[in-house]
Amino acid sequence: MSTLSAEEKYRNFIPEESRKYLEKLFVEFNRTVTLEVYTAEGEHREYNEFTLNICRAFNVFSDKIELREYAVDSEMGKNRNIIATPTILISPDEYDIRFLGAPAGEEGRALVEALNLASKGADGISDSTKEILEPLEKDRLIKIFASPTCPYCPGQAINAFKAAVARPDKISAWNISTLDNENMAHEYKVGSVPHTDINDTVTFTGLEPEEKFMLQLLFLKPLEEVVEEQRAAKAEATEETVYEDVDLVIVGGGPAGMSAGIYAKRSGLSCIILEKQGVGGQVALTPKVENYPGFTNIQGFELVEILGSHARQYTDIHQFAEVKDAKYGPRIEIVTDEKHYQAKGVLLATGVNVRMLGVPGENKFYGHGVSYCATCDGNFYKGGKAVIVGGGNTALTDALHLKHLGIETTIVHRGDKFRAEKVLQDSVNREGIKIIWNSQVTEIIGEDQVESARIINKDGAETILDTDVVFVAIGHTANTELAEKLGCELRPDGFIKVDPTQRTSVERVYAAGDVTGGVRQIITATGQGAAAALTAFDDFTRLFDDSKENTKNIW
């Protein structure tokens, strides 16, 4: 007979390191959070048991978590409109935040953050989110379809939870596990996660910056459509061109751009940050950051909030402001839909994008047989066939992950040897994963779903390979359109060429962050942003005489 008490049993259900973190977090809760758990006999027994165990453990850890357990078919279950087992409700008398399915793996992180948000209430919501959602008049039901293995899913779920806390009178947020809600995932045609559905009207795939998520939630349409409509309305309202003089225009609101904004303003320069999406860049979409000094472990969106809050103390950040044109001269003109900025200099912190294959069928099947995250979407293809395109660490890691899921996996690589670490190459060989060398995928074929991939060898031989999914892992491309327009020299690999002080080949044009290549890390981006701003200050002091309304001989 076990000598463990029930309390000890549930306390030990969670590993010691995680337990210490949770106990510390729960102590700081502002108020008690209620957990209601709904289960049913027979169906999903293992998922029900796991859910009860984790919620009971949370209840044991803190007196600020109150646990209530009900059967799905109970009167309370009917009143709460419970449609799946297991289901968890978070403070249901205040919010409609619920988890459909067991909060295993990455979804456990989303559950912890939901508890944290419920404990803080509106105090935990950013001013920008409150401002965006304040005009909302009609109800919104957000369904986030997630997977326990998807590191990006918690971020999108947290966006939804923040919305529900900001406007509990209008917004419901459901996190739905595709693992134990397969029928619902099939009904909503989920082929890639995170998959977001709002009011059964609009859907989005992937993790999005918080402000972008909130605007799409408000307008019930993709942000690109919202921006285009607002642009057209402004064009009709006025044809007058608005000019603004500024010392430094910073293009890009990631770590490099925000760091540059802080240092530029502290140096006495007037500056503006223009960001065509939400702030944060790639960091906002990074599930976990463990190598940024000062934070042993922090979620990407949390780090972005800290950086963004700091930067806004010094300078304005214009989000969703896309640069349409740039003209070089004694004053560099940066053109957006709203203004023409006339600047002494420009800092390009425009970052990178995931590299796509650019072949027929790729866009058609994105999210439904074409994916850029095998960890996120591999579970959908268990028992099937997969093609991995690439030869670096990510490609081989993805291949091993898929192989372990029981998926027949083939790697297609354009070279005759991998770039990946030797330990990964050895693992791929040991697992017997098929490799097609010196070849490229030139088309993804199918009717309603992916059926095969057209592969061409360097000698011109063509093969049609049957597959259920194509995972693309071929790196990133630098966003250099503005750099090229301004005449900046690029490196052979396509990134902007800079000197150690972040100067480009064009005077008064600087670059920092991932767009410059090299070691693409958050810490190097912030350092480069700071260096670029200080370099700009030195250059402007040398080149400009503000006491006269002209420039010195800068040519």
| Phi, psi for residue 275 in degrees, rounded to 5 | -130, 120
Residue the block writes with tokens 């998922």 = 47
What stretches of 12-120 show up as alpha helix (H) in DSSP?
Answer: 16-27, 45-61, 75-79, 106-120
Q: Is 60 helix (H, G, I), strand (E, B) or coil?
A: helix
Q: Which of 96, 377, 468, 514 is catalytic?
A: 377
Q: Is 466 known to be catalytic? A: no
369 contacts 359 by C-beta, under 8 angstroms: no
Q: Which of 180, 376, 398, 488 is catalytic?
A: 376
Separation CA 325–CA 337 (nearest Å): 10
Separation CA 145–CA 158 (nearest Å): 12
CA dist 69 to 87, 117, 129, 188, 261, Å?
10, 21, 33, 29, 51
Q: Is 373 known to be catalytic? A: yes
| Distance from chain centroid for Cα 150 | 12
CB atoms within 10 A of CB 148: 18
Residues 70-88, buried b or exposed e (16+ Cβ, 10 A)?
A: bebeeeebeebebebbbbb
Residues 198-219, buried b or exposed e (16+ Cβ, 10 A)?
A: beeeebbbbbbbbbbbbbbbbb
Q: Which of 373, 468, 488, 514 is catalytic?
A: 373
Q: What share of the chain is helix, strand, coil (3-state, %, to 5)?
A: 35, 25, 40
As annotated, the active-site residues are 373, 376-377
